[in-house]
Amino acid sequence: MSDQVIEKKTRTISQQRRLGLILRWVLAVVLIVFSIFPVIWIVSASIDPVNNLATQKLIPDNAGIQNFRELINNPIFPFFTWLWNSIKISVITTVLTLSLTTMAAFAFSRFRFKGRQELLKTILLVQSFPNLLAIVALFSISKQIGDVFAALGLNTHAGLILVYLGGAMGMNIWLMKGYMDTIPRDIDESAHVDGANDWQVFSKLILPLLRPILVVIGILSFIGTYGEFIIARTLLTKRELQTVMVGLQIYTSGQYTQNWGVFSAGALIAALPIMIIYLVLQDQIVGGLTAGAVKG
Amino acid sequence: MENKNGSIGTVAKKSISSLSSFITTFIIIAVDVLLGYITYQLASMGYIPLTVVFIIIILLISAAFLIPKLSHLRWIAVGLSAWLLFSIFPILFTIYNAFTNYGDGHLISQTQAIEQITNQTYLPETGKAYEWVAYRSDDNDYLLWVKDNEGNTFIARPVESEGDTRIFDVVTGENGIGEIDDEGVPVTIEGYTRLNRILAATDQNLTNIKFGDPEKTIQVRSPSEAAELLPLYEYNPDDNTFTNQQTGKIYYDREGTWTARDGTQLIPGFTSVIGFDNFIEFATSPGLRGPLVTIVTWNFIFASMSLLLTFSLGLLISVIYGDPNFKGKKLLRSFLIIPYTIPSLITILIWRGMLNPNLGIVNRMLESVLGISPDWFNVSTLARIAILTVNTWLGYPYWMLVTSGALQSIPSDIYEAAEVDGATGFQRFWRITLPLLLVSVGPLMIASFIFNFNNFNLIYVFINGGPPIPTATTTAGYTDIIISYVYNLAFASGRGVQYGYASAISVVLFMLIAVMSLIQFRFTNMWEEVGENV
């Protein structure tokens, strides 16, 4: 009798388990649909020759690559020029951000000098102001610099990169310094005893150990710069100089419902590099996110 | 033997280091010269604040590289300069702008305004006069031959024409000039036809064209006379006034506009400090204050709701699927992370298409299934719901990732102890999991709140803050948050650009953010971290 009860109990428990599992999978499917529906929809639109928001079907008739071909051939919307601009600007900004912040973080982590704490606190506080809020000031600074030195002014990629660099210092110096503090100072002290100077300690000893954090900051900086559009739109007004995000936004501000397919093709190409970076390097990125970076 | 090698090495090292310090000095001087040139130019254009920043940057870089005692600054000087120029200075500049009338009609510096007004000229009714003869080309380009009282002659092109020499002497063979008659007038000029008296007198354009250089401009006054234009306004730097040379009227500087006693104003004005006027207008004008209350309220609701929804959904997923026995966890995560991997601007544009009230897929589906078609773009409540939905989609993967990491770090013996004490699953979640979680991810929640508080991209790109608030005198909509309102005020307002006023609101927003950030730093050990390792 007691055996039967136990058997019955285990059966109900396993039934409950199964029910729970089924419920979980149902919910999972709902969540998956919610997350990937827009993506599927944009993929479908990009191969739909109809090129119209109103009549687009989920599974297009006569799927083809007309929309992609249109992207290449459209002289008013030089999509691939924009894409190239974006990649160029993001790569240069990332490389410069990494070099400048790593060196600054080294000084903040390893040297003790007057004003160090005050400077660090100011950097931390200032970085929480979105630089978009000072967009008017950024615009006039760029304009004024451009008035006397056109190569760094409005409508130049160099000027835009400078603005990005200035805004990138705060959080990244902080993240980098935090990581460097975890590297014991005994290492560099013994190197100093052996006659190494600061530069040698930095480049030969510390830098190789920074690989993980360099990857995280590098990726986040690239993605952030690549996705930024409002400062780029304000500082670059010439069509052939603009970035792909600005371009896509311009594209949809006109008669976008009629050009939906072409927009989708562009959006897909523009999003793909970032999606791949994320999916391949997700573990590293998650590490950086929990350290305090918020996606911009 | 070894010793010798060592000393040779040291000598070599020393000479290398003195060579490298020589090169460093040389490079720094070159950089300083370049920056100094820019600084000088900035100063001469009247951009004083930016000049000051550049001087600070030059001093910083020179000190870091040339003073051995400050050599630690070498590591940060360049980064710090970029930070000063594009992080610190913009904030200070915004604060300064908040106290000025920078905006339409006051866009340039005083130096530039003076230069522009001084360049305005008029044609005096008396004064130095010239005899003249005009030439015209087939493309309606003109040349003017003139002779002054002393008998000197020259030819002038229009001021607007291209090229550097707009005034040249009358010499046969140069500039296409052919034979010259007894009066000194060229009979022919290549490409041009000489106009006779009647043709010249009846030509419609001729009296409107200014010939010569900006410094020496000549205009046709009558069929027999041409005259040199004179500056219309004379600037008096002692009391900062302009005097109209034709009427004698005096214009005084009134908050960046030179204004006469009868109220007439000179254009352009310049950026001028106006004290707290922007803030006062901000507080007293009903047309401005009205939308601002709506916008600020919505801004807080939006940021709180966004945080609540994304955090709850993310946490729900990591609690339900955090169970190590659940198979397919990795696969599920890869799917659910997808919204996070697309650049947010693209996502927002896609959602804008999907939620399009007439054409979008969402309403087409709702229409066919439920027979409803909500107007997501034009009804304020629906627009707000749509924005929160999109933001939830954008943000929950972040919290899914963060909370699943944080949950794993909660020690399992706490749960075992709770189970022994007979706590239910529900109780365990509310009493143990959530409080512990909030402690560890609290700072990130504040960061996320601040991020959403200023989530310009979503609001601006989705429907540009719409639908519009009808009572507002400026561009303002029901889904506008402060930062998008400020942006529109500065760049797209129907009343013209109002940088000064936009900056005043920015300053208020700066203060709000500063308070929130300080709370965040209290929660984290960031502030204390600085103090450590000293």
Element (H, E) at B123: none
Judged by a CB distance cut-off of 8 A, whether residue B356 touches chain A is yes
Count Cα atoms within 13 angstroms, Cβ side, for B68.
1
What type of residue sits at position B472?
Answer: A
Task: Tell me how close the Cα of A144 comes to any Cα of chain B, in angstroms.
Answer: 7
Residue B215 has what pLDDT? 73
Q: For residues A160 and B414, which has the higher predicted lDDT (pLDDT)?
A: A160
The pLDDT of residue A2 is above 80: no
Q: Are B132 and B145 in contact (CB under 8 A)?
A: yes
pLDDT in tens, B213-230: 877 788 887 887 888 888
Q: Which of A198-202, B134-138, B195-199, B342-346 has the lowest mean pLDDT?
A: B195-199
* CATH 1.10.3720.10 residue spans of chain A: 69-290
Q: Do the chains contact at B45 and A144, CB–CB below 8 Å? A: yes
Clarify whether residues B407 and B471 are in a common domain: yes
What CATH number does residue B368 fall under?
1.10.3720.10
Specify if B242 maps to a domain: no
Name the band, by pLDDT with cuts 50, 70 and 90, for residue B196: confident
pLDDT of residue B89: 92
Q: Do B236 and B242 form a contact (C-beta atoms < 8 A)?
A: yes
Residue B470 forms part of a structural domain: yes
pLDDT at A293 over 50: no
Mean pLDDT of B162-189: 80
pLDDT of residue B169: 83
What is the per-residue pLDDT across B500-527, written as a single tens digit (0 to 9) for each? 888 888 888 888 888 888 887 777 665 5
Chain A residue numbers with beta carbons less than 8 Å from the beta carbon of B393 are 34-35, 38
Q: Which of B86, B353, B9 is nearest to A267 (CA)?
A: B353
Across the range B80-100, mean pLDDT stands at 90
Topology given in CATH for the domain delimited by A69-290 = MetI-like fold (1.10.3720)
Instruction: Say whether A130 and B529 touch across the interface (CB within 8 A).
Output: no
Chain B: closest CA distance from residue A3 (Å): 25
H or E element in which residue B129 lies: strand B129-137
Contact between B205 and B160 under an 8 Å Cβ cutoff? The reply is: no
CA distance A53 to chain B (A): 6
Would you state the pLDDT for residue A5?
62
Distance from CA of A41 to the nearest CA of B (A): 9
Please determine, for residue B476, whether its predicted confidence score (pLDDT) is greater than 70.
yes
Nearest by CB to residue B90, choosing from A138, A165, A227, is A138
The pLDDT of B147-161, averaged and rounded, is 83
From chain B, the residues in CB contact with A42 under 8 A are 350
Last residue of a domain, one of B193, B213, B231: B231
**Chain A interface mutation, best of B76, B511, B512, highest count of A Cβ atoms under 10 Å:** B76
Statement to judge: residues B28 and B177 lie in one domain? no
Position A121 scores a pLDDT of: 85
Q: Are residues B82 and B174 in the same domain?
A: no
Q: Note down the domain range covering B218.
A: 121-231
**Chain A CA closest to residue B326:** A21
Nearest by CB to A38, which of B354, B402, B457?
Answer: B354
**Pair of tokens at residue B136:** 């015209």
CATH number of residue B179's parent domain: 2.40.430
By CB atoms closer than 10 A (0-12, 13-18, 19+), residue A158 is exposed
Q: Which of B231, B260, B291 is a domain's end point?
A: B231
Query: Is the distance from CB of B82 to CB of A101 less than 8 angstroms?
Result: no
pLDDT of residue B3: 46
pLDDT at B529: 54
User: What sign does the CA torsion over B299, B300, B304, B309 have?
Assistant: negative
Q: For residue A130, give the chain B residue with the closest CA.
A: B454
Partners of B251 in beta bridges = B242, B260
Our CA dihedral for B413, B417, B419, B423, rounded to 10 degrees, sits at -120
The sign of the dihedral angle between the CA atoms of B499, A137, A115, B66 is negative
Domain annotation covers residue B481: yes
B1 occurs within a structural domain: no
Q: Is B421 contained in some domain?
A: yes
For residues B419 and B61, the model is more confident at B61
When the pLDDT of each residue in chain A is averaged and rounded to a whole number, the result is 84
**Residue A159 with chain B: CB contacts under 8 Å:** none
pLDDT above 80 for A74: no
Asked whether residue B57 falls in the same domain as residue B186, the answer is no
Report the 10 Å Cβ neighbour count for B343.
Answer: 27
- What's the CA gap between B6 and B91, in Å, rounded? 54
Q: Are A289 and A278 in contact (CB under 8 A)?
A: no
Q: What CA dihedral angle connects A201, A202, A206 and A207, to 10 degrees?
A: -140
| Residue-wise pLDDT tens digits, A254-288 | 666 677 888 889 999 999 888 888 878 877 777 66
| pLDDT score recorded for residue A91 | 95
Q: What is the pLDDT of residue B533?
A: 43
Same domain, B360 and B503: yes
At residue B304, φ and ψ (nearest 5 deg) are -70, -45
- Tell me which of B188, B212, B231 is where a domain ends: B231
Higher pLDDT, B411 or A202: A202
The backbone torsions φ and ψ at residue A61, rounded to the nearest 5 degrees and listed phi first, read -80, 150
pLDDT at A158: 95
- The DSSP H or E segment spanning B269 is none
Give the model's confidence band at B6: pLDDT under 50 very low, under 70 low, under 90 confident, else very high.
very low
Which range is least confidently modeled, A210-219, A225-234, B48-57? Answer: A210-219
Q: Across all residues in chain B, what is the average pLDDT? A: 83
- Domains contained in chain B, number: 3
Confidence of residue B15 (pLDDT cuts 50, 70, 90): low
- The answer, yes or no, to whether residue B176 has pLDDT greater than 70, is yes
**Residue B279's closest CA among B9, B49, B53, B503?**
B503
Residue A24: pLDDT above 50? yes
Contact indicator for B444, B520 with CB cutoff of 8 Å: no
Is there a single domain that holds both residue B383 and residue B331? yes
Q: Helix B344-354 to helix B456-463 angle, to the nearest 10 degrees?
A: 30
Per-residue confidence (pLDDT) for residue B493, from 0 to 100: 55
- Token pair 């034979």 is found at B179
Q: What is the mean pLDDT of residues B151-166?
A: 80
> Is the model's pLDDT at A108 over the cut of 80?
yes
Q: pLDDT tens across B235-251, in order?
A: 888 888 898 888 888 89
Tell me the HSE value of B133 on the side-chain side, using a 13 A CA sphere: 20
Whether B533 is covered by a domain: the verdict is no
Q: How confident is the model at residue A296, as a pLDDT? A: 36
Identify the residue with better confidence: A56 or A116.
Answer: A116
Say whether both B319 and B431 belong to one domain: yes
Query: Which of B88, B451, B533 lies closest to A294 in CB terms?
Result: B451
Q: Do B483 and A41 lie within an 8 Å CB cutoff?
A: no
Tally of CA atoms within 13 A in the half-sphere of B290 that contains its CB: 13
Mean pLDDT highest for which of A82-91, A173-182, B188-197? A82-91
Quick check: is B103 in a domain? Answer: no
Mean pLDDT of B289-305: 89
Q: What is the mean pLDDT of residues B336-346?
A: 87
CB contact B523 to A (< 8 Å): no
Q: Is B10 among the domain residues?
A: no
